[in-house]
Structure 1
Amino acid sequence: MIRSSSLLTALSVPALMLASCANAETGESSGDGSAPFTITEKASFNEPWAIEFAPGTPVLFVTEKSGTMKFLDTATGIIGTVSGLPDVAYGGQGGLGDIAFLDSEASDVLDRRTIYLSWAEAGDGDTRGAVVGKGTLVCGETESCAIEGLTVIWRQTPKVAGRGHYSHRISISPDGQYLFIASGERQKMQPAQDTTNTLGTIVRLNLDGTPAAGNPMADKGGVTAEIWSYGHRNILGLDWDASGRLWEVEHGPAGGDELNLVAAGANYGWPERSNGDHYNGDPIPDHSADDGFAKPALSWTPVIAPGDMIIYSGDMFGAWKGNALIAGLGSQALVRVAFDGESAQEAGRYDFGARLRSVEQGPDGAIWVAEDGKDGRVLKLTAE
């Protein structure tokens, strides 16, 4: 067991710069830089991308970006394999992606439950796109599970060239009725403002992948009927607060990472507005009160490069209940954000000295993080 005081570095605490409409913008700020947790290494995996506990169990499932999937029984330490996976378009930011389970199927028996997966899929003419599939997880043996009947229920439209900005994070609404899927703009920018496609959007679907009734543009049909919000860049974190509101965190360009409260039909401005600039130095107009776009609740310049996000609801870290915890890639930190209504501010940043790809809350309220890259460690954080 490694004590956090030997690994983690407290950061400075500059004041937050307040923006319009109760929004806040900050750079490398930190509220409380102390680290009130102990870190225990539990396992390592090859390019872990998503970690997710099967509800009702201590079993943590881990996708590996190259197309494999494993599980860690955190009660026994057993690591098992999962078969029945799809072929993935591995490369760049693409590969096997997110995992989602239904809380309504929570049980201490792991066997036979619905599982959702996302991945990058190859198309015609050197094109690719994100997809989401639905299957049944069957775990009849201690060290192996299989996914049966995995069927694609949603495809990012259109497939395009390139290997970046798939997003493909999955979140199920608190009432268990809807799938929300982050669909990145695939580094193509302008499609995020075009609602005849689903690039740069969050889509809201029924559990079978069909467009949900009541979506903002349901009357337009086609893929437009799937859209819940648009004008996004590269969303890598989605989660719900205790009031049932959906929040997302996304990569900006050179500066301007954003935390947004997601509203039905809202346009978040990319690439017409950003608090960052293009990588070549060309400016992008900042968000402003009168630009007609939804404003970020919080933005970061320099960026934190988010990899994932949860909104903590456990008791182990009682003072953090209701805070967002963001796994930082470029920032190599766990970033904590506190909310006040529709505004937010960074409340803590805890340096890990490694790129953090994913974050998850354990059944006992412990926090789990997965490092990015080959031999990425899965770490358990417990309160001191």
Structure 2
Amino acid sequence: MTLNKLLAVLSPLAVLTASCGPAASGENAGDRPFTVRAIGRFDHPWAIAIDAPTGIALVTEQPGKLVLRLPDGRTAPVPGTPRVDYGGQGGLGDVIFAPQGGTAGPTLDGRVIYLSWAEAGAGDKRGAAVGRGKLACTGPLSCRIDTLSVIWRQVPKVSGRGHYSHRLAFSPDGRFLFVSSGERQKFTPAQALDTNLGKIVRLLPDGTAAPGNPFADRPAPANQIWSYGHRNVLGLAFDAAGQLWGLEHGPAGGDELNRIEPGKNYGWPLVSGGDNYDGPPIPRHPTRPDLAAPALEWNPVIAPGDMMIYSGTRFLAWRGQMLIAGLKTQAMIRVSLHGTTAREEARYPFPNRLRDIIEAPDGAIWLLEDGPDARLLRLTPAAN
């Protein structure tokens, strides 16, 4: 039987598995050691954060709305969000809670949050911004953002509506805020140290450049840079050892998982595991051993939405492993980390694109679908 005839008789799930890149060891990609339950719906959601003491979640919706979700499933809008430039890949982006501050009462009153978004500028130009604000709550479903102020911006603002990145992550000790800054589909800024495009930056909680950065002795924005040569980093997470990982969209092929180290150049657009969309090839990583090579790369791409490193007890076999929300692949992808390298272990297909993934305080896994009327899904271990 020819390969084409064989594929024609395979189930849709098998075809999806066959088309999603290198074969994974461990579980078969069709095995689902979990049950899935929908626990909410949102309009073009982009990110979710959960306050561990209260179990209350915040969800950003790209058109500009921040939604509060109580543990019982009730939701309410949170006024005070910034004006966003919605379109293309732009809009309201990430949301995280400050590591410290505020109370652990029944509401989020007094909690400090960070938001990222696409911000319009003059002359049909735009760029990502990060803001910090404090929540003021008069009841469980009655919160607003007080005193939201911009603490960081991409410079310069440029044309187009792609590759903002603007993922946020605090270091495990809570001292430093890391921001992924995409190269805005402009290629060469990723290699230039006089711009913060195509970089991962390390800031103090107030948005100023952190002391001890690799280029701290240079004028801003070089003094913000932690690493460079990035294309579009949509996942940032620290492992249990305090190592930062970045998950990055490549061009036509070449999505990357990188172990992020200070001062290193990750190669874009000088090298890649893929090629330009219009055809011209890009040199591969081995041609430039002076540049940092990825710990893992995918071709075909997985088009990641976000990722997290699991630390809970519900899925004990997955502790310390990375779970990725796949957009194009419509799958949750599980990756094991091994020092400076990584290995894909399994893929679990879903019916829709997946935008974000987070661990809930009880160890369950929450997945956000992408697009209009997107579901929030809760994953718990399947019954034996």
Alignment TM-score > 0.5, same fold:
yes
Q: Structure 2-normalised TM-score? A: 0.92
- Aligned counterparts of 2:260 and 2:358: Cα–Cα separation in 1: 21
- The aligned runs of 1:112-191 (5 Å cut-off) are 112-191=110-189
Aligned to 1:381: 379
2:60 equivalent among 63, 66, 73: 63
Offset, 1:205: 0.2
Cα deviation, 1:23-72, whole Å, max 9, x if unaligned, reads xxx93433322211110000110000001102312111100000001021
CA contact (8 A) 2:60 2:67 kept: yes
- Aligned counterparts of 1:270 and 1:306: Cα–Cα separation in 2: 18
- Aligned counterparts of 1:143 and 1:8: Cα–Cα separation in 2: 41
Structure 1: unaligned runs, 5 residues or longer: 1-6, 15-25
- Aligned counterparts of 1:308 and 1:355: Cα–Cα separation in 2: 12
Offset, 1:330: 0.4
Could you tell which deviates more after superposition, 166-175 or 94-103? 94-103
Cα deviation, 1:117-141, whole Å, max 9, x if unaligned, reads 0000000100000000000012222
Change (3 A) 1:290 1:297: same
Offset, 1:108: 4.4
Aligned to 2:36: 39
- The aligned runs of 1:246-285 (5 Å cut-off) are 246-285=244-283
Aligned to 1:197: 195
- Aligned counterparts of 2:17 and 2:76: Cα–Cα separation in 1: 42
Q: How many residues align?
A: 366
- Aligned counterparts of 1:240 and 1:165: Cα–Cα separation in 2: 22
Could you tell which deviates more after superposition, 33-42 or 297-306? 33-42
- Aligned counterparts of 1:143 and 1:79: Cα–Cα separation in 2: 7
- Aligned counterparts of 2:340 and 2:328: Cα–Cα separation in 1: 26
- The aligned runs of 1:1-384 (5 Å cut-off) are 27-31=21-25, 32=27, 33=29, 34-74=31-71, 76-105=72-101, 107-109=104-106, 110-288=108-286, 290-384=288-382
AA paired with 2:335?
A: V
CA contact (8 A) 1:12 1:30 kept: no
Higher relative contact order (CA 8 A, sep 6+): 1
- Aligned counterparts of 2:337 and 2:119: Cα–Cα separation in 1: 36
Corresponding residue SS for 2:37: strand
- Aligned counterparts of 1:366 and 1:9: Cα–Cα separation in 2: 27
AA paired with 1:86?
A: P
CA contact (8 A) 2:271 2:288 kept: no
Identity rate, percent: 54
Change (3 A) 1:306 1:186: same
Structure 2: unaligned runs, 5 residues or longer: 1-11
RMSD between aligned residues: 1.7
AA paired with 2:60?
A: T
- Aligned counterparts of 1:38 and 1:195: Cα–Cα separation in 2: 47
- Aligned counterparts of 1:166 and 1:260: Cα–Cα separation in 2: 18
- Aligned counterparts of 1:297 and 1:365: Cα–Cα separation in 2: 27
Corresponding residue SS for 2:84: coil
CA contact (8 A) 1:192 1:271 kept: yes
CA contact (8 A) 2:253 2:298 kept: yes
Corresponding residue SS for 1:288: helix
Cα deviation, 1:321-358, whole Å, max 9, x if unaligned, reads 00011100001000110011111010110000210000
- Aligned counterparts of 2:15 and 2:277: Cα–Cα separation in 1: 29
Aligned to 1:19: none
- Aligned counterparts of 2:60 and 2:13: Cα–Cα separation in 1: 27
AA paired with 1:107?
A: A
- Aligned counterparts of 1:355 and 1:117: Cα–Cα separation in 2: 23
Change (3 A) 1:221 1:55: farther
Q: Structure 1-normalised TM-score? A: 0.92
CA contact (8 A) 1:246 1:261 kept: yes
Could you tell which deviates more after superposition, 128-137 or 47-56? 47-56
- Aligned counterparts of 1:154 and 1:55: Cα–Cα separation in 2: 26
Offset, 1:12: 5.5
Corresponding residue SS for 2:286: coil
Aligned to 1:18: none
